[in-house]
Structures are given as structure tokens and as C-alpha cells.
Structure 1
Amino acid sequence: MVERPAGFWIRLGATLIDGLLIAVVGLIVTTLIGISFEEGEIIQNIMNLLYALILPVVWYGYTIGKRICGVRIVKLDGSNVGFGTMLLRVIVAMFVYVITLGIGLIVTIFMVAFRKDKRGIHDMLAKTYVTYKKPDEGNPYQES
């Protein structure tokens, strides 16, 4: 059951914060170790992928951007996401968006903007949604 779903603008804001954070950290790391722009892009992409996969698993569905915006990723039953769920949400969805030449991403934007449950293709694949509900709001599936 989807409770208090987060819509398009708040999710976009969280994504922009996360992207800015990863860009700044990536720039600092690549500058400090003195590597080329191309190598830096590879490192940045790896950092972004690991950030999106691991942080929500260990931090109750939050990334830093989502935490600042007060939203988090949960499974449909309200429980915390696991590594397998995040693999589906990030990797498989990315693959779908690439093979559809970005059309899947455009469809997802409209789904998040206009569907009542605010779920995009990546949410459907992983059986997740983004919510304003905090981990400690009385859900029996949540850890306090």
C-alpha cells in the first residue's frame, strides 16, 4: 500500500542535490589524485552508481538529497529496501531507459508527475515508491 507518496518536484530536487554532491566530491577526488578528465568521468560514474545502490540500503531508503528533502525509498509493503531491490531500481531501470533511447525516462517523468501513487517505471520494476513517511512512523515492517 502506497502511503504519502512523494511527487515529481520534490524527487527532482533530491536528485539534483545528490547529483551536485557527487559532482563536487568527484571533482575533489579526481583533482587530488591528479587524473585526466576522461578517467575522472569514469570514477564519477562509479561513485554515483555505488551511492545510489548502497546508501538507501544502509540508511533506511535515504540518500543525502532525499534526507534533506524529507523523502525516502521504501518497498510497497513499507519495509526498507535491500540491495537486490536497489539493483532492480537502479541498474535494470537504467538499462530500460537506454534501450528505449530515453523514451522510458520521459514516460517515467509523466508517471511520477501524474499517477496517484507517483511511481515511475523504476519503481514498478523494483516494487518500490518514494514517500514522506519516516522510518519510525509506526510501520510494523520498519526498524526504529
Structure 2
Amino acid sequence: MSEEEVRNPAAAPAAVTRRYAGFWMRFWAYLADLLITAAVSGILLSPLRIFTDAGAVEIGYWTVAGILGSIIFYLYFLLMTRFFGQTLGKMIFGLKVISEDGGKLTWRDLLFREVVGRFLHRAFAILALLYLVVAFSPEKQGIHDMIGNTRVVFAE
């Protein structure tokens, strides 16, 4: 504590209380985000599929449309969280992503949370079950939150 805070306890900063968002609130927000990303992908990729038949063009195991859809998915989560601190689904349900220390979200934190963490959950189906970690961790963190040093809280 500073000397001013010792002399005048009212000058001390108020303790920050955070209400962490639990599994079900985050689940519904994620479902809303999935609907939004599916709609955006459909709108953006429809002309590509109609005019070039890119949905049928294969690159190894993937199709061009699948790759572009994945890019839209990851960019949506990355950019919305970076610039607004929340996706549209989180906005609907009043949730916000914050950094572990309460400071500004960094690109590094977000790349690990939104790209690496989500990729692991989506690439390996069994790892999708790890979303349940949110229900049991003290600060309601998922594996992708732990990787990215973030928390999801109720917006004030």
C-alpha cells in the first residue's frame, strides 16, 4: 500500500470482483457464434461455390471452401475478441474476454486462445470434451483460456 492509502483507506483502489461466466452461458454464446459464422461463411462463399465450384476442388484432405470457411471462423473469433473483447454471441449473453491480469488483451494471448486453443478443440474430436473443464475449474477457464491466459467474465 502507498503512504496515501495507509493514511486514507478511502484512497485505496477498490478490490476488483469478477463474476466468471460458467459453462452454460459460454455454451449458448458459442452456439450463437457458430450460427453467425456459418451464416457469414455461407454468404461469402456462396458466389465462390456457384461460379467456380470451389466446394469440389480438393487440396489433400480439404476442399477450398472448407479452408476458406475455417479462415473465416478463426478470423471472426480472433478479430472480434481483439477489437471488442467479445464476439457477437458473447455480446448477446453479456460476456467479455479479459486477460489474466485484467490488462489489455495482447495479440499473443488471443492467437493462443482463439487460434491454437480452438484448433485443438476442433481438430481432435475427443478434445471437444475438454470444454467441460470450464464447469469445474475455479475461475471457469477452458483449456483455450489457460493456453491464452484469459478469463471470460460477465460484462459490466
TM-score by length of 1: 0.79
Which of 94, 106, 110 lines up with 1:86 in the alignment?
A: 110
Q: Is 1:51 aligned to 2:56, yes or no?
A: no
Query: Is the alpha carbon distance of 1:131 and 1:117 closer, same or farther for their aligned partners in structure 2, counting shifts above 3 Å?
Result: same
2:144 equivalent in structure 1: 122
1:67 equivalent in structure 2: 91
Q: What is the SS of the residue equivalent to 1:129?
A: strand
Q: In the aligned structure 2, how far is the partner of 1:28 from the partner of 1:110?
A: 32
Q: In the aligned structure 2, how far is the partner of 1:127 from the partner of 1:2?
A: 18
Q: In the aligned structure 2, how far is the partner of 1:96 from the partner of 1:29?
A: 25
User: What does the per-residue CA deviation read over 1:1-52, in whole Å, with 9 as the maximum and x for residues that have no partner?
Assistant: 8710001111111111111111111111121333432322221110011111
Query: Is the alpha carbon distance of 1:22 and 1:96 closer, same or farther for their aligned partners in structure 2, counting shifts above 3 Å?
Result: closer
Identity between Structure 1 and Structure 2 (%):
32
Q: In the aligned structure 1, how far is the partner of 2:17 from the partner of 2:132?
A: 18
TM-score by length of 2: 0.73
Q: In the aligned structure 1, how far is the partner of 2:119 from the partner of 2:72?
A: 18
Structure ID, larger Rg: 2
Q: In the aligned structure 2, how far is the partner of 1:44 from the partner of 1:92?
A: 17
Q: In the aligned structure 2, how far is the partner of 1:95 from the partner of 1:50?
A: 12
The runs of 5 or more residues in structure 2 that have no matched partner are 1-15, 56-62
2:128 equivalent in structure 1: 105
2:3 equivalent in structure 1: none
Aligned residues: 131
Relative contact order: is structure 1 or structure 2 higher (C-alpha 8 Å, sep ≥ 6)? 1
Query: Is the alpha carbon distance of 1:65 and 1:98 closer, same or farther for their aligned partners in structure 2, counting shifts above 3 Å?
Result: closer
| Deviating 4+ runs (over 6 angstroms) | none
The runs of 5 or more residues in structure 1 that have no matched partner are 135-144
Query: Is the alpha carbon distance of 1:127 and 1:15 closer, same or farther for their aligned partners in structure 2, counting shifts above 3 Å?
Result: same
